Amino acid sequence: TRRGIPEAILAEGKTPEQVASLATTALETTGRALVTRLEDTHFAALEERLEETVPDAAVDRRGATLLATAADHDRPALEATVAIVTAGTVDGPVADEAALICVDAGLAVDRIDDVGVAALTRLIDQVERLRAADVAIVAAGREGALPTVVAGLIDTPVIGVPVSSGYGHGGDGEAALAGMLQSCTVLSVVNVDAGFVAGAQATLIARAIDGARTSGS
Amino acid sequence: TRRGIPEAILAEGKTPEQVASLATTALETTGRALVTRLEDTHFAALEERLEETVPDAAVDRRGATLLATAADHDRPALEATVAIVTAGTVDGPVADEAALICVDAGLAVDRIDDVGVAALTRLIDQVERLRAADVAIVAAGREGALPTVVAGLIDTPVIGVPVSSGYGHGGDGEAALAGMLQSCTVLSVVNVDAGFVAGAQATLIARAIDGARTSGS
Amino acid sequence: TRRGIPEAILAEGKTPEQVASLATTALETTGRALVTRLEDTHFAALEERLEETVPDAAVDRRGATLLATAADHDRPALEATVAIVTAGTVDGPVADEAALICVDAGLAVDRIDDVGVAALTRLIDQVERLRAADVAIVAAGREGALPTVVAGLIDTPVIGVPVSSGYGHGGDGEAALAGMLQSCTVLSVVNVDAGFVAGAQATLIARAIDGARTSGS
Amino acid sequence: TRRGIPEAILAEGKTPEQVASLATTALETTGRALVTRLEDTHFAALEERLEETVPDAAVDRRGATLLATAADHDRPALEATVAIVTAGTVDGPVADEAALICVDAGLAVDRIDDVGVAALTRLIDQVERLRAADVAIVAAGREGALPTVVAGLIDTPVIGVPVSSGYGHGGDGEAALAGMLQSCTVLSVVNVDAGFVAGAQATLIARAIDGARTSGS
Amino acid sequence: TRRGIPEAILAEGKTPEQVASLATTALETTGRALVTRLEDTHFAALEERLEETVPDAAVDRRGATLLATAADHDRPALEATVAIVTAGTVDGPVADEAALICVDAGLAVDRIDDVGVAALTRLIDQVERLRAADVAIVAAGREGALPTVVAGLIDTPVIGVPVSSGYGHGGDGEAALAGMLQSCTVLSVVNVDAGFVAGAQATLIARAIDGARTSGS
Amino acid sequence: TRRGIPEAILAEGKTPEQVASLATTALETTGRALVTRLEDTHFAALEERLEETVPDAAVDRRGATLLATAADHDRPALEATVAIVTAGTVDGPVADEAALICVDAGLAVDRIDDVGVAALTRLIDQVERLRAADVAIVAAGREGALPTVVAGLIDTPVIGVPVSSGYGHGGDGEAALAGMLQSCTVLSVVNVDAGFVAGAQATLIARAIDGARTSGS
Amino acid sequence: TRRGIPEAILAEGKTPEQVASLATTALETTGRALVTRLEDTHFAALEERLEETVPDAAVDRRGATLLATAADHDRPALEATVAIVTAGTVDGPVADEAALICVDAGLAVDRIDDVGVAALTRLIDQVERLRAADVAIVAAGREGALPTVVAGLIDTPVIGVPVSSGYGHGGDGEAALAGMLQSCTVLSVVNVDAGFVAGAQATLIARAIDGARTSGS
Amino acid sequence: TRRGIPEAILAEGKTPEQVASLATTALETTGRALVTRLEDTHFAALEERLEETVPDAAVDRRGATLLATAADHDRPALEATVAIVTAGTVDGPVADEAALICVDAGLAVDRIDDVGVAALTRLIDQVERLRAADVAIVAAGREGALPTVVAGLIDTPVIGVPVSSGYGHGGDGEAALAGMLQSCTVLSVVNVDAGFVAGAQATLIARAIDGARTSGS
Ligand SMILES: Nc1ncnc2c1ncn2[C@@H]1O[C@H](COP(=O)(O)O)[C@@H](O)[C@H]1O
Ligand SMILES: Nc1ncnc2c1ncn2[C@@H]1O[C@H](COP(=O)(O)O)[C@@H](O)[C@H]1O
Ligand SMILES: Nc1ncnc2c1ncn2[C@@H]1O[C@H](COP(=O)(O)O)[C@@H](O)[C@H]1O
Ligand SMILES: Nc1ncnc2c1ncn2[C@@H]1O[C@H](COP(=O)(O)O)[C@@H](O)[C@H]1O
Ligand SMILES: [Mg+2]
Ligand SMILES: [Mg+2]
Ligand SMILES: [Mg+2]
Ligand SMILES: [Mg+2]
Ligand SMILES: [Mg+2]
Ligand SMILES: [Mg+2]
Ligand SMILES: [Mg+2]
Ligand SMILES: [Mg+2]
């Protein structure tokens, strides 16, 4: 593990067979397997392999991310919640990546979708849920303004994730990244499309809060 | 005039004496003089010269922009209003440049300041004023999100002006420019710090509306 | 709708079936469906579906954009015209996207093609048509000089759309975008290839003019 | 306050008199004043003004940042520690800015200097102090590798701050920023030279931990 | 000499005394001295020195460029003309640099100023002069469209010189450079502000034409 | 024609059938057809079509460029030579594009290949041929140094063409373009891979020289 | 050979047959053939061809690089060692390219893998091997910090090779390149993914050391 | 020391007094002091201080670099030579920085100036001196082609140093840097203007050769 964060298997650039093998091994040795950036061919191979070898594993696929858990796996239960917020549909897969890292680590995840800044009322309707979380991950592409607006509404730490969902000048996530770095409120940022890193950083923060809650230290 | 927009004198790169002469000539021949990007030395020279030559001219200085009007100048009175909106204090001089172009052209200007996206309630309090205008210019630096949020609240045309008020990655206005171009709502954009162009474009739009209002064509 | 602009369906990244379903639903609920950035496979699926479900819909396909209208759809008729101008053949699809948004919103569209700046006489021949419109959209790739030259000839608002039609240094639309932002006349700009945004912004301007014309306000 | 973070006064672009007035007012109304990016002339004016008006204020100047505290100010005492780490001397002022924000907010600050990655033993000697903190801010210029190496050694959240201390290709902080975003471990990042934002984000994290510690929630 | 082009002295970065000495030496040994990018202090020192040492030299200063010629210097007389065209006043100094290189080499120079593309009639009025030249240098900043439009009007070689006269995105000459490289007609380009290189390249072309004219080879 | 340069058909983005039709039409109406950036499928379709319709046309294919000439076409014969120089094999197709434009226009072409700057003796062996030409086109990728070195050896005009043949930092032709613009000798430049423009500009220069040679004007 | 370095055949952009022919010829004339950036289809064609023509050749394939050696080839045996170090699995192919160049030239290669900076102990465990080499090549992607850390541990020359293995901002090797250029210790750098250049430069250094060792000069 | 390279004092950003003190201390404790990027005010203060405290120190100032050596300092004498080559006068200070690092470390330095690629004969005249050195540092600005041409002439390692001596596109050393990274021969590169790093890297290479020469290991 890196920094106490469960390892993930990056499917991109691997064959379906390699991914199936790596995931099965992870499942058998650590009780869970997290696969990111997988395509349908990876998924098919993995599903088939699991049916043969670990048929009672629970499989949770969201977008291009998948978390498989052995029936007897003893997931930690952290007393902490992360809000994962998206501006629009295209931000979904990046948020999914972040969400399953948090789930795997034992956090409660509250997913709040489709609250982009061009329609403020949808966002304002969710303020109570946003305030109830211990930390928020906000994924947004195009102009990347959502993390700033969310951070202006709550007093807990916000991690911005720029998404490469635009086109034209800055559409590869560079506009969103620059906008989040220039934010006129307080937030920190991860790389473009780096749902994994955002989820892991949120886990580190939430775990510290959980530690303080449960043991006072 | 370019496109029916009154000419402006760009003080940057000119001596105080050159600016004073050009402005006096403009005042004497066209009844008004608009000077942009001027410094205190330009202002001092100009003030002195005007006192000598056109002592009854009215002088309206805002930030680095100045509009001098002869006592007998017959300014057109357009039946149209432009809202000029800023996110914070640093955006002021760019908004001033836009505002005086509009004033010079005969528009009513409604200036709405300090309504940046990190504190949404201040902005939402101004929705009625925003909706009352025929066209809106929104100047914003840093992440440049304000034009998007304003455009999400109103149905009139919005022109975004990126301001070079940040530091670090994209702080020279590039983050704001890219963000406005990527906006997930509908707006058009001018160059970084181009208050003049924004004011002139708003004037062209407002003049067309005024023309339709007053003559039905 | 965003800002009173009819919604569009972005085909890019969707399957033919998804596009066919979304368009059929839009047609049935709003009387029209606008699809952008579609490919032939999207078109085939959509055509087949429409034949089955809404056989009397009128289909207007231009380039990669398609507007389907129900027989009984009551399109608004705005008393306003937008000129849509292109420099060369490659700019066509971006202009098509802008044009159908305007058509959908009820504007009259005057399309003026192939008047690039390397052959001025073709452009000058069209000055009367350009002057007759209430607002102009000018799409140009390569060096993107056409909006500047058009704006120098008329006194109505011009919206420049940079097109990604070049190769080499700045050929992805960046040269055209930078050139339009640097324009030595008055115009505002949208993102590279953003025909949709240009059409929508022109609609907002034209609708305001129409409102003033028809009701004086 | 933004997000419960005490306000700071940015001296850059203000006259010494303006800074002195703003700081005195802040001190009189909130019991403390934080000034960032100040020069010696600002400092002189401020010192003189304070001697006249609030002579018993305690003044803590570090690099270009200054925290003045009224004798009777009741600073909160958070039960949480932030480690603030620098690679070399040039990173000092950015770390100072972060440090005084944290001090002002009531955090314990553990400053660890001059542990750049070209001499690993100096860093490894500090591992115990690094592990004892609740959150770490790591400021590094040039290649910006220090946050990655620190994060590899500890399990608490790390915030990287790129510093504009190099020369040549990427020497304005861009190399460090890109390096931190590409980090092969888990960290989040703020803008180049954004000591304030790093300190504020660390404060939000530490305050949440403190809240959990002291009240279990 | 480089490529048969007379040498020039770059004043930038040299003291007034150094420039005065170098120019005097050039004058005494080659009969002429060309100084580029000089400031008033360079000019004063040079003027004084020449009065003392070569009082009958003819001095031709244009903008920041100066050509001093000894009374008995035998300048070549090429039978060829270069048109040097500018879009606006700010392009003047770059055109001056190009012009004096050509004069020094013995070309006839036809200077055509202030014919920027936002006011086409001024340009079209000069078509005959443009067509009469053997080669054209066109200096333009901002969007840099003028070389393209000029090249569309004539059949002789055009050399574009981007000028760093804008502000904001691409205002340092990058927009003009990219625009000229993307030109949809035929032209070649030199570096931003490189009046010297444009003048020298035009000289090489004109000299070849002159050679063919006078000797048929 | 643009600037008296015969038109070319850009195959890129067109179907084989479109290219075959356009080329046949050009051949029938103007006696020749020049096709650039064609692939084997374009070539096959074109060959087949020509066999049917213009079986006696002469076809000259070099790299991705093709010049077809009708048996009775009366090509102009300019009394002028262009040297076309390449650094290595990868620069071939760009040089081919330039060469066939020149051939089509009636110039003599002297092609000098594989004389890159890492092996100077091969280049120096060709100095006489280089000096014999009236104008030189030099195509070079990677660091793009060859035009500078060639220009240092001859006194005729040199046009540099950057080629996108590298990889890594600047490998898309940007390093070569920047190097040619920074050249410490005298040359002008066209866009990356713009063999067509280089050939056309060389033609304009050579035609002027030919004109002077044959008529003295 | 370039600089006494054996020639390599770049498979990229060549057909399997071309690669097979070129390699067979090299093998027959120089006793060895080095092929870089080859794909499985190249490999299959080459293997088949070798079986027919040079069946006793020894084939050493690593990643996308292949070194074939004739049975009777007399490889030089340099008395010098190069350490080739990678941060992670993705850096392998670039290191392979460097390694086989060194092997071909007769160097001893010590390959040290998977010692990225996020887990310092793995690196520190290898210090003795690192110190035993005469020169080190360090390949690293993402933030590219490994060459700096390695250079801080040893006193022999280090050559950094940035690898294009990341995603998002700077993920194409630009972050790693900028980081290595900004390194706060002493190293030199080659282009992104330029394993060949790194291997060749290391060979030049090692050969000089070998020369001094074996002959004292 | 870093990597066995004597420490240098970077004057940039330090007061004359600070530089004088640091240098005196270095001289007294290590027998020598190397100061880089110093201005005349630093030099004056240092000279005065040395006269008072270490009057018999030898001072070697070249450009902005200075090496002071105590009378009794025992400089190592390495049996190895570095050639330091410049393209033109502007490259001098960067070469000076490299040279004095090498002198301080005990290398023989052979300085070869003014052999830029636009005049090849001057370079070719120096081939014997170039070949006689054990390693070459080549500093070049503008298009940065000189290291490639030098490397094509010799078989010893070449280190390229890009110099920020141009103007316009890539004139800040970026064109030279990109060109050197794209070099079609074998060389490694350091950051723009990084004479110090180039000198230090050459020292590491030369010291290894010296070690092999004098002890055979
Ligand atoms: N989407 C992702 N983004 C960043 N890192 C990842 C991602 N998925 C997996 N990883 C990490 O990348 C490293 C290499 O993964 P692998 O190539 O599967 O060995 C492991 O440490 C994973 O935890
Ligand atoms: N070509 C386009 N450019 C910009 N926005 C578009 C385009 N086509 C559709 N849209 C808008 O993009 C948003 C998302 O579309 P969809 O992914 O279809 O839900 C909708 O609000 C559409 O109106
Ligand atoms: N490789 C090329 N580079 C630049 N322009 C070209 C090229 N090939 C053809 N052209 C020109 O591009 C224009 C449009 O070509 P087409 O799309 O075939 O009508 C014509 O004026 C051609 O002369
Ligand atoms: N011109 C230079 N370029 C790169 N590093 C330098 C330069 N001059 C001094 N240094 C090094 O920079 C580090 C910091 O120097 P200082 O700020 O003087 O303590 C020391 O390790 C010096 O050896
Ligand atoms: Mg967004
Ligand atoms: Mg803003
Ligand atoms: Mg155009
Ligand atoms: Mg660092
Ligand atoms: Mg222009
Ligand atoms: Mg080359
Ligand atoms: Mg790395
Ligand atoms: Mg050079």
pLDDT digits (tens, 9 = 90+) for A120-155: 999 999 999 999 999 999 999 999 999 999 999 999
Contact G69, G97 (CB under 8 A): no
What pLDDT shows up at residue A45? 97
What pLDDT shows up at residue A80? 97
d(CA H21, CA H48): 11
What pLDDT shows up at residue D2? 76
Interface partners of chain G (CB pairs < 8 Å, 3 or more) are A, D, F, H
What pLDDT shows up at residue G84? 98
What pLDDT shows up at residue B216? 65
Q: G163: which residues sit within 8 A by CB, 6+ positions away?
A: G90, G91, G94, G139, G140, G141, G144, G173, G176, G192, G193
Nearest CA in chain D to G172: D182
Task: Give the mean model confidence (pLDDT) for residues B106-112.
Answer: 98
> F51: pLDDT confidence band, cut at 50, 70 and 90?
very high
- Conformational region of residue H3, where left means phi above 0, alpha means psi within -120 to 50, and beta covers everything else: left
Whether B197 and chain C come into contact, CB under 8 Å, resolves to yes
Nearest CA in chain C to F175: C169
Whether C154 and chain B come into contact, CB under 8 Å, resolves to yes
Q: Within a 10 A sphere around the Cβ of G128, how many other Cβ atoms? A: 7
pLDDT digits (tens, 9 = 90+) for G50-108: 999 999 999 999 999 999 999 999 999 999 999 999 999 999 999 999 999 999 999 99
Per-residue pLDDT for H1 more than 80? no
Q: Which ipTM score applies to this complex?
A: 0.96
**Which site among B18, B37, B94, B191 would you substitute to test the E interface, given the most E Cβ atoms closer than 10 Å to its Cβ?**
B191
d(CA D126, CA H161): 36
Contact B17, B38 (CB under 8 A): no
> B24: pLDDT confidence band, cut at 50, 70 and 90?
very high
Whether E121 and chain B come into contact, CB under 8 Å, resolves to no
What pLDDT shows up at residue H112? 98
d(CA C167, CA F191): 8
Contact E199, E193 (CB under 8 A): no
| Bridge pairing between strands G135-140 and G81-86 | parallel
d(CA F191, CA F155): 23
What pLDDT shows up at residue E217? 58
* DSSP H or E stretch at residue D166: none
What pLDDT shows up at residue E3? 82
> B109: pLDDT confidence band, cut at 50, 70 and 90?
very high
Burial class (CB in 10 A: 0-12, 13-18, 19+), H29: exposed
Contact B60, B104 (CB under 8 A): no
What pLDDT shows up at residue B1? 62
Task: Give the mean model confidence (pLDDT) for residues D87-98.
Answer: 96
% of residues, chain A, pLDDT over 90 = 95
pLDDT digits (tens, 9 = 90+) for D31-71: 999 999 999 999 999 999 999 999 999 999 999 999 999 99
The residue whose CA is least distant from atom 19 of ligand 2 is: C9
Closest by Cα among D209, D214, D198 to D100: D198
Report H helices in chain G. 16-30, 40-53, 92-105, 120-124, 127-132, 146-151, 174-181, 195-215
d(CA C108, CA C99): 9
For A143, B138, B174, G50, the CA distances from B168, given in Å and listed in that order, are: 18, 23, 11, 57
For B20, B71, H22, the CA distances from B27, given in Å and listed in that order, are: 11, 10, 61
What pLDDT shows up at residue D1? 62
d(CA A95, CA A105): 16
pLDDT digits (tens, 9 = 90+) for G25-66: 999 999 999 999 999 999 999 999 999 999 999 999 999 999
D112 bridge partner residues = D85
What pLDDT shows up at residue H169? 98
A65-69 sheet: strands from edge to edge? A9-10, A32-36, A65-69, A58-62
- Ligand lying nearest the CA atom of residue D116: 8
Helix, strand or coil, per DSSP, at residue D138: strand
> B65: pLDDT confidence band, cut at 50, 70 and 90?
very high
Residue with tokens 């030898």: H58
d(CA H146, CA A215): 66
Amino acid at B157: P
Give the distance (Å) from ligand 12 centre to CA of residue H149.
10
**Which site among E191, E192, E193, E197 would you substitute to test the H interface, given the most H Cβ atoms closer than 10 Å to its Cβ?**
E191
* DSSP H or E stretch at residue D11: none
Q: Does residue C25 have its Cβ closer than 6 Å to ligand 2? A: no
Per-residue pLDDT for F169 more than 90? yes
Give the distance (Å) from ligand 11 centre to CA of residue F155.
49
Query: Dihedral of CA C28/C33/C37/C40: which sign?
Result: positive
> B95: pLDDT confidence band, cut at 50, 70 and 90?
very high
> F119: pLDDT confidence band, cut at 50, 70 and 90?
confident
Per-residue pLDDT for C143 more than 90? yes
d(CA B96, CA B84): 9
- What's phi and psi for A54, nearest 5 deg? -135, 65
What pLDDT shows up at residue H62? 97
Furthest-apart CA atoms within chain F: distance in Å: 53
d(CA H206, CA H217): 13
Find the radius of gyration of the CA atoms of chain F.
18
Round the average pLDDT of chain D to a whole number and report it.
Answer: 96
Contact G193, G172 (CB under 8 A): no
pLDDT digits (tens, 9 = 90+) for G169-198: 999 999 999 999 999 999 999 999 999 999
Name the residue facing C157 among B2, B194, B201 (closest C-beta): B201
Angle at C203 between CA C197 and CA C206, to 5 degrees: 145
Task: Give the mean model confidence (pLDDT) for residues C25-36.
Answer: 97
Per-residue pLDDT for D4 more than 90? no
- Domain annotation for chain H: domains and CATH numbers: 9-69 (3.30.1370), 81-213 (3.40.50.1970)
Instruction: For chain E, positions 77-116, list CB contacts with chain C under 8 A.
Output: 87-88, 116
Closest by Cα among C73, C137, C132 to C105: C73
What pLDDT shows up at residue H119? 87
Contact G215, H34 (CB under 8 A): no
Please answer yes or no on whether D194 and B169 come within 8 Å at the CB atom: no
Q: Which atom of ligand 3 is nearest to the CA of F37?
A: 1
* DSSP string across chain A: -BTTBPP-EE-TTS-HHHHHHHHHHHHHHHSEEEEES--HHHHHHHHHHHHHH-TT-EEEEETTEEEEE-TT------S-EEEEEESSGGGHHHHHHHHHHHHHHT-EEEEE----TTSHHHHHTTHHHHHHSSEEEEEE-TT--HHHHHHTT-SS-EEEEE-----STTTTTHHHHHHHHT-SS--EE--TT-HHHHHHHHHHHHHHHHHHHHH--
What pLDDT shows up at residue D127? 97
Residue with tokens 């009128």: C58
| Residue bearing the bigger pLDDT, D3 or C6 | C6
Closest by Cα among C79, C78, C83, C80 to C158: C83
Q: Within a 10 A sphere around the Cβ of G217, how many other Cβ atoms? A: 11
Per-residue pLDDT for D150 more than 80? yes
Contact A46, A66 (CB under 8 A): yes
For B106, B162, C157, the CA distances from B198, given in Å and listed in that order, are: 15, 10, 11
Task: Give the mean model confidence (pLDDT) for residues F41-58.
Answer: 96
Query: Tens-digit pLDDT profile for chain E (217 aa)?
Result: 678 898 999 999 899 999 999 999 999 999 999 999 999 999 999 999 999 999 999 999 999 999 999 999 999 999 999 999 999 999 999 999 999 999 999 999 999 999 999 889 999 999 999 999 999 999 999 999 999 999 999 999 999 999 999 999 999 999 999 999 999 999 999 999 999 999 999 999 999 999 999 986 5
Per-residue pLDDT for H2 more than 80? no
pLDDT digits (tens, 9 = 90+) for C96-117: 999 999 999 999 999 999 999 9
